[in-house]
Structure 1
Amino acid sequence: MLDVATAALMVLVTLSFSYKLERSTRVGWKYQHYLHELAHTDALTGLPNRRKFDAAFERVLRTAAREQRSVSLLLLDIDHFKSFNDHFGHPAGDQCLKQIGAHLSRSMRRPLDFAARIGGEEFAAVWFDAQPDDARRMAEQLRAGIEALAITAAPAHGPLVTASGGLVHVESPSLAMRSADISARLISNADAALYEAKFGGRNQLSVSRGTDPLGSRGEREVSET
């Protein structure tokens, strides 16, 4: 039989091993979480990137379908950003995007509302269960807020940075459609509305007014500054 000292030593060794294993597992989980966030976050603005946007948008659509709630999607594109970047340089362009990202992040306050950077100078904002007029008001505030940042490469040099937006709103997405299909249709409609805003002179919001945004593109209503 083992003596008391040997038994106590074995207990201590076992406890030490268990602690190290638990600590290693915890550190490993934190590292995996860090890598996951790194892969789903835009490094420049700190906003969700396109990959995370796609997954989060589909989750919101599934929730809206189950609970029979609405979803609003805004696509924002910075006007003449390539010219701004080429003229003032990439550091100024990066700083511009950082300020816009911070503005969007500050503006999304409810748990299921979020903003993301989905392309070079393109951003998206999603509102869950907002009335159409409220969604339009919030979208216009985001767009106008970018101009209000008064971003220029240097004080009193060059025009202010502005953005154009395309907004689409859907009531109670269908449970019969895949969330990925609904997402693709809404993004397409919002993108078409964004094109209308660009074509109409930029620095404005265009709202998709189709009665069935999942069935047709519908009409556009442009809100000018």
Structure 2
Amino acid sequence: MINLSVNINKIASLRNTRDINVPDLGDAVELVIAAGCQGITVHPRIDQRHIRFSDLQVVKAHINGRVEYNIECDPHELFINMVLEVKPTQCTLVPTKPNEITSSEGFDLKVDYEDICKKVKLLKAAGIRTSLFSGTEIDQIRLAKETGTDAIELYTGPYAMATGDRRKHYYEQLYAAAALAHQLGLRVHCGHDLTLDNLGLIRNLPGLAEVSIGHHLIVQAMFQGLPGIIHQHLSILND
């Protein structure tokens, strides 16, 4: 079975526009788990624009060991210390750039190798499974294996945003990368801009164990659920 880990960042973003804790992240966790997902993902950032640092323990308390808890974060010492305190099931290390809207590339392990090795060792010593956000470059995947990480999360953005022959090209790159990672004994994860329209091929990647989906899943849920909610309001007003 391929696990689905639902990223609830966008729910936190909506909450942060008001001071009344609506929507409540705890309620979101309960709803997502009840729907059958196998994991919850959060990605705290230094500006706390969606997930706040104080949310990390709240989310863990609501999960209460029922599904996997995945914290994505930059390998900065601040975040590593938070993860070590919270002790989620998994920590996915993700490179970040100043002022970026969302993550858009994997690590360059030819540059970051020693630091990543150190952080992976710290996390694994605490019993936390590790994953590295990764592109599809073969050399980078081999270096990822050498860091001691348990998994890589392949960045699917280029595949998801392309069409026609370009999508086929990016899929072939993902397939080759997944095949090598699986051969090396790494868990294969995928994430970024995955939707109902482009997810079908992804499930066929060799060794795929987990996909993380947030933005598009939340948007689709909003639009599919909106008509029913409007009808309920109209009923109260007019029946």
Query: How high is the TM-score relative to the length of structure 1?
Result: 0.26
- Greater relative contact order (Cα < 8 A, sep 6+): 1
Q: TM-score, normalised by structure 2?
A: 0.25
